[in-house]
Amino acid sequence: MFRAPIRIAGIGSCLPEKVVTNDEIANMPDLITSDEWIRKRTGIQQRHIADKDQATSDIAIVAAERAMEMAGITAKDIDLIICATVTPDNIFPTLSNWIQKRLDCNEVGSVDVSAACAGFIYGMGMARNYITLDGYKNILLIGAETLSKIIDWKDRNTCVLFADGAAAAILQPCEEDSSWIGPAFLGSKGMPEVLITPAGGSRIPASHESVDNRQHYMKMAGREVFKIVVKIFEDLARMELERHNLTIDDIKYVVPHQVNQRIMDMVSERLNWPEGKIFSNLWRVGNTSSASVPIALTEMIEKGLIERGDLILSCVFGGGMTWASVIFRW
């Protein structure tokens, strides 16, 4: 098992100022739900929602600047930008192009990853390979979403769950036997219909009909997603520990995609993990898709919950269905 000597040199997040509670959602017209219903089924109590004129790049750039500050670098030091998102500012150009423009670090590579909630770990796997194989020195990796822009606020299957946020990390090569990132395991299954925004692409171009039919909003088959994710989470966790010859006791924290508290609790119980092994901030942040893992890591660093040398296991899963996992030493 090749553990690449790479460290997360800096990390930062940005959550929109506006906070929407469960009670506020329950009071929305044409929506039948309650604080109790939402908490019981998701574990979420509140979430951050972007302003109408606030784009994904607006929060992503703040997260990037905070990550660079922690790493002690400037935009001129960045040699590659990778952005994980399903809610870019435009269909094209990429979110990474806008970040590149706003940071004024032209003539470096930039690319978006569209792997839904699995995107950040997909991007981490890419960054690991670019550093290991191609000699990159400072990769800016961002997970950022404004999912409120594609939420149907009349659909309680999605509007109670998803939220907005961004986080960024600077990945750098480091000395052997200090920090490291294991190989990311990437997987997917051809099930695009279970979590999808139907219109806006080449299959169903924007039209009066597609707008009237609310096809530009996210649609989710919640029960089917729940069953799939529970099994994927379990399988990924077992596989990662086995291939690194580790036990759960070697891991400081499991930092999964903040998908649903019931899913996280169910997997922890099935795998007989100690209480508190899974870090969760879902209750106050909601499901921020590709941003959820780096937002969680930023909070953990700020609270002193992890330090250099700690082992972290991350398992993520999203629309597609897509999934990924990795173990790394902070």
Q: What pLDDT score was predicted for residue 243? A: 96
Q: What is 1-330's CATH number?
A: 3.40.47.10
Q: What pLDDT score was predicted for residue 278? A: 98
Q: What pLDDT score was predicted for residue 1? A: 64
Q: What pLDDT score was predicted for residue 2? A: 84
Inter-axis angle of helices 261-270 and 35-42, nearest 10 = 30
pTM of the model: 0.97
pLDDT digits (tens), the chain, 330 positions: 689 999 999 999 999 999 999 999 999 998 999 999 999 999 999 999 999 999 999 999 999 999 999 999 999 999 999 999 999 999 999 999 999 999 999 789 999 999 999 999 999 999 999 999 999 999 999 999 999 999 999 999 999 999 999 999 999 999 877 899 999 999 999 999 999 999 999 999 999 999 999 999 999 998 899 999 999 999 999 999 999 999 999 999 999 999 999 999 999 999 999 999 999 999 999 999 999 999 999 999 999 999 999 999 999 999 999 999 999 999
Check if the beta carbon of residue 67 is closer than 8 Å to that of residue 78: no
Phi, psi of 196 (to 5 degrees): -155, 150
Residue 159 falls in the annotated catalytic set = no
Going by DSSP bridges, is the β-strand pair 164-173/6-14 parallel, antiparallel, or unpaired?
Answer: antiparallel
Tell me which of 97, 138, 260, 287 is the catalytic residue: 287
Q: What pLDDT score was predicted for residue 211? A: 96
Residue showing tokens 């299957």: 157
Tell me which of 22, 257, 260, 315 is the catalytic residue: 257
Cα 246 from chain centroid (whole Å): 25
Cα 270 from chain centroid (whole Å): 24
Check if the beta carbon of residue 14 is closer than 8 Å to that of residue 59: yes
Q: What pLDDT score was predicted for residue 191? A: 95
Q: What pLDDT score was predicted for residue 177? A: 74
Q: What pLDDT score was predicted for residue 19? A: 99
Check if the beta carbon of residue 139 is closer than 8 Å to that of residue 111: no
Residue showing tokens 């707008």: 211
Q: What pLDDT score was predicted for residue 184? A: 98
Residue 48 falls in the annotated catalytic set = no
Question: Both tokens of residue 222?
Answer: 């919640």
Tell me which of 117, 159, 260, 315 is the catalytic residue: 117
d(CA 206, CA 198): 10
Residue 287 falls in the annotated catalytic set = yes
d(CA 117, CA 235): 17
d(CA 75, CA 55): 21
Residues facing residue 71 across a β-bridge: none
